[in-house]
Amino acid sequence: MSDKLLQKDMIHYVKKINYILDNIKKFQKEMGKKNLKVLDVGCGVGNISLQIANIGCDVTGIDVDKSSVDYANKRNKMKNCRFKVYNAHKMNMNEKFDIIICSEVLEHLKYPENLIEFISKSLKKTGFLFLSVPNGYGPAELSVMPRRIIGKILKRIKLYEICRNIRHAIVRDPVKKAQKSFGLDTLNQYGEGAMHEQFFTLGELRKLFDKYNLEIIRRQKSFVLVGTFPFYYLYSRFRTLQSIDCRIADVLPAFTVSGWSFIIKFKN
């Protein structure tokens, strides 16, 4: 993916991508090689995978959504990057990776512990995990909590897909509309994203990682109001506001921001 395409995306997304790339480049220097083996779990349309492959890593992206993987393969022009339809919960890759990426995935899972267990078995002891996740009680999550509650109720009474289809019939091409507002490649092919099943605190995440002998060694705070309803409609139009918001997040206490990115390693 070119820098030109990346610059169409929201600033907080670019911030996250750069955080991943900076840490991988440091690791490449430490290991004395560029072609590190990377697994991108929940790769979507391949945004992160393609950027990592571009700096020399050997990347495998996996996702359960076939349409996203098909689109990722269509736009992929690199031999050191491949995309496959896989469910990490049900697979054993029989290989170890230097780096595993898990970006905005954990919150969508009913059993996130299963994925962390899979990652712990697939990550080399000297490698690292990059994981990003929303603050379950941050501004962005709290702002859409009423909508999420309604969504859960509709799912329970088997009306969610019907209501979703009606909405898509009224709002024509909602995916294209969202991509135009928030960036060409920030959304997966599925559209507005699956419902969040988990709402993590930092303490809960640390306990989850600790269970598999993993620990956070670095943390980046993402944003405050960029993805918060109704502010994102304004922020999507002004990159300066996005940039200011991301800088404010850097100096606020971690529990007050809308999301986090982590570098995680096995404990010594």
C-alpha 38/C-alpha 184 separation (Å) is: 24
Indicate the pTM of the whole model.
0.85
For the chain, which domains are there? 3-266 (3.40.50.150)
Q: What is the DSSP secondary-structure string of 120-168? A: HHHEEEEEEEEEEEE-TTSHHHHHTHHHHHHHHHHHHTT-HHHHHHHHH
Which has the higher per-residue pLDDT, 100 or 234? 100
Strands 81-85 and 58-63, sheet pairing: parallel
Q: Which of 18-27, 109-118, 176-185 shows the lowest per-residue confidence on average (mean pLDDT)?
A: 176-185
Report the SS3 class of residue 183. coil
In the chain, alpha helices (H) = 3-6, 11-31, 47-53, 66-75, 112-122, 139-143, 145-156, 160-170, 174-182, 202-211, 231-235, 239-251
Amino acid present at 101? I
Confidence of residue 3 (pLDDT cuts 50, 70, 90): very low
Which has the higher per-residue pLDDT, 127 or 175? 127
How buried is 98 (Cβ within 10 angstroms: 0-12 exposed, 13-18 middle, 19+ buried)?
buried
Structure confidence at residue 222 (pLDDT): 94
